[in-house]
Amino acid sequence: MNEDPVTTESTDPASTGISQAPKPKSVRTAYLLWLAAGLFGAHRWYVGRWFTALIYFLMLMTVMTGGFVLELMALLGVFALIDAAFIPYMVRKRNAVLETQFKERPERFIEPEGDESVAPWARHEPDNIGYILTTPLRVAAFILLPALAASLAVFLGVYELVVIPIAILLATGLIGSLDKIVTRHPTLGEIPGLDTALDRVGELRQYYWDNEPKVLQSFLHIFRKNPPYWKIILFVLFVIAIETVVSYDSIYPPYLGPSDALEDFIVLGIVVSIGVLIILVPLTTLSFRYSLSGKRHRLQALTVAALLVSMFFLFLASLHEKEDDTPSVMSGIYLESRMESPEFRENLKQKLSAFLHYYTRFETDDYTAQLRESLAGIAQGDEIEAFEIINGSTFLGVGYKAEGGPCSLHAGGSSVEGSEKSTQANQAGKESSYRMLSIADSNGRVYHVFNDQIPKTVRDEFSGIQPDSCHKLIDDHFSLVQSAP
């Protein structure tokens, strides 16, 4: 039975028009979303299952931050496989709900009339030759920018960098008009945090409705016309501040204090702000250009492609991070700050002395694994991955993989004794940069200062370490008052 459309009046360019029956959800689209971003719960967002989609998303964020990786990945995989079988049912259920909602509340389904769905700047101006020639560049940027964000997020350990671009893609490319969604589901606007996010996206839409989306112009207008990007950055900084406060007790005490946390927050805030601007501005500009010019099908295809490429890069970056056997960038910064603390170095020397004194007399299959286990009490998280055993022919030492470490240990002399990958790398003749912290001779005597008290055979073996400034141990490096070992 066909009903006459209900005419409405509105000053909102996104909602001026008539009430029309909602377009049915597509099983094909749902499967494409499941394939492209199923682990993010994109297919569940599509069929209106907001709560379980949010659970998917939070579980994946927990996995990416290193928590319960195997357990949650296995659980997500099981859920995704189950969803693959139930997608047709979920689509039918969603379409039935939409049909019922339309009959009961047709005013919730207002659709733009005529050109009102297209921004004024896109209605009467055909694409010029310059725009056509730069299309491949825009398509490549749209697909690769989220992948860059995913890689940087894993490298820095700052996952806001990948969450925000993906949220923008979902909001503009797949979910559709947020105005219509909030109208049909008014309770969404009452969820703490989500209401703010919806407001920011709405402000972006209005800005690009009034101003033709151009990447360079958008960067210039950040300082002139004040689009809501700064509000997004402030929101991200607020999230980072909350994370810093919540994780303070587990990261900083007893060797670092509030001033260190503040310094790290400032550095991280600057890096993340620059990253958000470089990635978010062009991605959002391109997304709204397609959306507000009536090219939604092209935008949806590009969004699916961008999500697929992002997931692939996210997987590769996570795999490389795990195989690299080094701390994340932020963990490296925390450890460098800890190494400046005399109390931390003193406790570290005591741990290293006990370890080296014992293991020069007793062999083990993996010295490095035993070392890291013994240091777990004073180093946090993956910081312990910065420490390696250097197994020389005349000594057993501890190397510290500092950022920009100046000392190169060659396979021909000393070698890294730890993971199979590290050993193979040294056997292949590759160099690894370390600071030497402590060494023990064959008699179990431990040294924290490089001086003449170290046996000549050990000092001679060190001659292969270049440059000469590398002939220092932990007390030499940090200019402590030196005492006889």
Average pLDDT over residues 433-442: 82
Most confident of 32-41, 195-204, 251-260, 467-476: 251-260
User: What is the helix (H) or strand (E) element at residue 389, kind and residue range?
Assistant: strand 387-391
How far apart are alpha carbons 17 and 271 in whole angstroms? 44
Range 34-53 burial, b when 16+ CB lie within 10 A, else e: bbbbbbbbbbbbbbbbbeeb
Average pLDDT over residues 311-319: 77
Average pLDDT over residues 62-66: 58
What is the DSSP code (8-state) at residue 107?
G
Res 412: pLDDT:
35
Whole-number average pLDDT of the chain? 74
Phi, psi of 466 (to 5 degrees): -120, 150
Residue 201: how many CA atoms within 13 Å on its side-chain side? 26
Res 348: pLDDT:
93
In this structure, of 220-229, 350-359, 387-396, the range with the lowest mean pLDDT score is 220-229
Contact 123, 237 (CB under 8 A): no
Placement of tokens 């008539």 in the chain: 18
Instruction: Tell me the three state secondary structure of residue 415.
Output: strand
For 15-41, write each residue's pLDDT tens digit.
445 556 677 888 988 898 888 778 778
| Type of residue at 102 | F
Res 224: pLDDT:
63
How far apart are alpha carbons 110 and 87 in whole angstroms? 27
With 50 as the cut, is the pLDDT of residue 3 above it?
A: no
Most confident of 2-6, 22-26, 160-164, 343-347: 343-347
Average pLDDT over residues 330-350: 87
With 90 as the cut, is the pLDDT of residue 482 above it?
A: no
Radius of gyration of the chain, Cα coordinates, nearest whole angstrom: 29
Furthest-apart CA pair in the chain: how many Å?
98
Residue 101, Cβ neighbours under 10 Å: how many? 15
Q: Greater confidence, 30 or 392?
A: 30
Q: Which two tokens stand for residue 178?
A: 């947020």
What is the DSSP code (8-state) at residue 22?
P
Contact 313, 230 (CB under 8 A): no
Q: Which two tokens stand for residue 211?
A: 């101003």
Tell me which residue of 414, 329, 417 sits closest to 371, measured CA to CA: 417
Q: Which long-range contacts (CB under 8 A, 24 or more apart) does 344-352 make?
A: 344/255, 344/378, 345/474, 345/478, 345/480, 347/378, 348/375, 348/378, 348/437, 348/474, 349/438, 349/448, 349/474, 349/475, 351/375, 351/377, 351/378, 352/398, 352/437, 352/438, 352/446, 352/448, 352/474
How far apart are alpha carbons 372 and 346 in whole angstroms? 17
Percent of the chain with pLDDT over 70: 70
Res 271: pLDDT:
83
Average pLDDT over residues 407-411: 47
Band of pLDDT at residue 349, cut at 50, 70 and 90: very high
Tell me which residue of 218, 200, 216 sits closest to 208, measured CA to CA: 218
Q: Which two tokens stand for residue 257?
A: 């204090």
Range 465-482 burial, b when 16+ CB lie within 10 A, else e: beeeebbbbbbbbeeeee
Q: Greater confidence, 70 or 424?
A: 70
Instruction: Tell me the three state secondary structure of residue 322.
Output: helix
Q: Which two tokens stand for residue 27?
A: 């099983």
284: Cβ–Cβ under 8 A, 6 or more apart, which residues? 168, 172, 204, 218
Average pLDDT over residues 417-434: 43
With 90 as the cut, is the pLDDT of residue 185 above it?
A: no
Res 86: pLDDT:
92
The pTM of this model reads: 0.66
Tell me which residue of 399, 395, 469 sits closest to 433, measured CA to CA: 399
DSSP string across 183-206: HH-GGGGGSTTHHHHHHHHHHHHH
Most confident of 31-45, 390-404, 437-451, 470-484: 437-451
Instruction: Tell me the three state secondary structure of residue 327.
Output: coil
